[in-house]
Each structure stands twice: as structure tokens, then as C-alpha cells.
Amino acid sequence: MATRSKKSPTDLASVKGRLHTRIAKAPSLFIALDYDGTLVPIAERPELAKPTEETVKILQTLSTTSGVCLAVVSGRNLEILRGFLPIPNLVLAGLHGLEVWPLVDRPASRIDVHVVRAGLDRLIEAVKEKVEGGQLPRIEDKRHGVSFHFRGENPPVATKMRSLVTAAFREIEEGSGLILVAGKQVLEARPEGVDKGTSTLAIQDQLAPGSLPIIVGDDITDEDLFDAYAKKGITVRVGGGTKKTSARYALKKPADLVAWLGEIEAVWRERGGG
């Protein structure tokens, strides 16, 4: 996999004209977007991270635009994503690509979800045992992945919870086929060998080959995505300031992405001539 060395990204606003020219000249577009922190601001509780009407509207428009394949690639499960984004033509990849609609063949298709589930059950049990009646982190069970959330906790409490989950994971790790991945105020256990990069490449390969990829994310797990597309397309990180990333460009906040998606749609509509 081509890996771009991590650098400070370029402000997308300063190169928009150039990017729009590139977009207008592309044969077709493949737009893959993360959800939390990218399309919607991170919410205090994950269930509150609803998209705005404007966000749904532009996704709806792009998903039915000829020559555009639009996908949302998230760590959430498919059911939740579909609840937030009930958009018929939108491609949805949940759990970093373990669950994808519509069905595409990808490395994650070959994972034994029963083994995964058994490992996750052991992990949840191990965490509960370690807490011994103390305060549990908020557990989000995503069926083939489990997130332990620390958002909103006092920093010392969050630190304690974090080390406890890590210790519990070490106990169940062997033979579980699981990895533990850190995100923003969260630790997530999920199947090894599933990442947004390989999943998204497989989706594009089967649904939008030859298209110009526009790839947008905000978090650590999106770096896999940026690495996978380092030499192939337009990679954009939302937020994160000057923090180093494999993404080439940066937008400040989800609202900026929603506005830019509107501009992309206009560029695509007005390019004429196909």
C-alpha cells in the first residue's frame, strides 16, 4: 500500500480552483466520506450525531447525480448509518467496511463473524470483571465491533477506564482475531484485517472503477483511508489543525465539507460536454 509520509495538510480553500478544474475534467467521481467528525460534528453521545437537513439534501443530490458514486465509510454499524442517512442510492460501509451495502467482495467478507462475536463477548465480560462494581465506560455494542466511550468523563476517570479496557483486552486478545484501536475519546475492538483503506478500495474497484476519488475523514482510522489513496485522489482531513496527517488537504469543520460538497455538485453539473 502506498503510504504518504505524514505532513501538515494544505488548506483546501487555498487550492479550490485547481481542485475544481481537476474534478471537472474527471471521467467520473468516487466520493467516500467518514461520518462522525467529518459529515457531522462529534456529539457528546453518538446517538445525538444527527445530520442536518442541508447535509442530507446534498448527499441525496450527489447520490443520484450521474457519474458520481457516493459512499459513507464509518466505524458505526450499518443499521445506525442507515437510520441517520436513509438515502436509497448512498453506498454505506459500516464497521470500517466489515458491513457494506450494496454487497461487494472485499477482504472483510472472509472474516468469521461468529469468532469475532465470541471474542467481543469475552472482552465485555473481562471489562465488567475488572471494574468490580465501579464505573463502566459507556459500551456501544455494534454487533461485530464494540466501542468503549470516555467522552464526557473526568480526565482521571477516563484514563483509568482506558487502562482497564486495555488490560481486559490483553487478557482475551490471543486467538480472538480482534484488535484494539484508539480514536477520539474512544477505544474500539474490531476484527483484525478490516480497515477503511482496503474496504474503500474494494468498494471503488467494484462500483466506481476509474473514477477520481475524493476521500474525506477526520480521525486516526481515516489515516488508513488517506494512505490507501495517497497517490490516487483528493484526500481531505476535517479538523485537526496542523496535526500531521496522510491527507493532502484540510477543511476546518463538518459544515465546511457540506458546503464544499455543494460546490463539487455545482462544478460537476456545470462542466458540460461530459
Summarize as ranges the residues that interact with Mg ion (CB under 5 A): 34, 36-37, 218-219
- Tally of CA atoms within 13 A in the half-sphere of 261 that contains its CB: 29
- Chain-centroid distance, C-alpha 126: 27
- Closest contact distance (angstroms) between CB of 58 and Mg ion is 18
Residue 64 phi/psi, 5-degree rounding, is -110, 10
Looking at this protein, which amino acid is placed at residue 224?
Answer: D
| Nearer to Mg ion among residue 236 and residue 267 (C-beta) | 236
Residue least distant from Mg ion (Cβ): 37
Residue placing its CB nearer to Mg ion in the complex, 36 or 195: 36
Task: Kindly state the smallest distance separating residue 271's Cβ from Mg ion, in Å.
Answer: 30
Minimum Å distance from CB 220 to Mg ion? 9
For Mg ion, the closer of residues 136 and 180 by Cβ is 180
Quote the least distance from Cβ 249 to Mg ion, whole Å: 16
CB 247, CB 217: distance < 8 Å: yes
For residue 232, the minimal CB distance to Mg ion (Å) is: 21
Neighbours of 79 (CB within 10 A): 12
Closer to Mg ion by Cβ: residue 61 or 185: 185
Give the nearest distance from C-beta 36 to Mg ion in angstroms: 4
Q: Are 168 and 214 in contact (CB under 8 A)?
A: no
Q: Which of 38, 2, 33, 22 is nearest to 200 (CA)?
A: 33
Nearer to Mg ion, 22 or 151 (CB): 151
* Least distance from Mg ion to the Cβ atom of residue 34, Å: 4
Closer of 213 and 239 to Mg ion (Cβ): 239
What does each C-alpha distance from 114 to 21, 110, 120, 145 come to in angstroms?
48, 12, 10, 12
Do 73 and 79 contact (CB within 8 A), yes or no? no
- Direct distance between the N- and C-terminal alpha carbons of the chain, in angstroms, rounded to an integer: 32
CA-based nearest residue to 102, from 92, 112, 111 = 92
Task: Rank residues 119 and 219 by Cβ distance to Mg ion and give the closer one.
Answer: 219
Geometric angle at alpha carbon 199, from 218 and 144, rounded to 5° = 85
Amino acid at 65: T
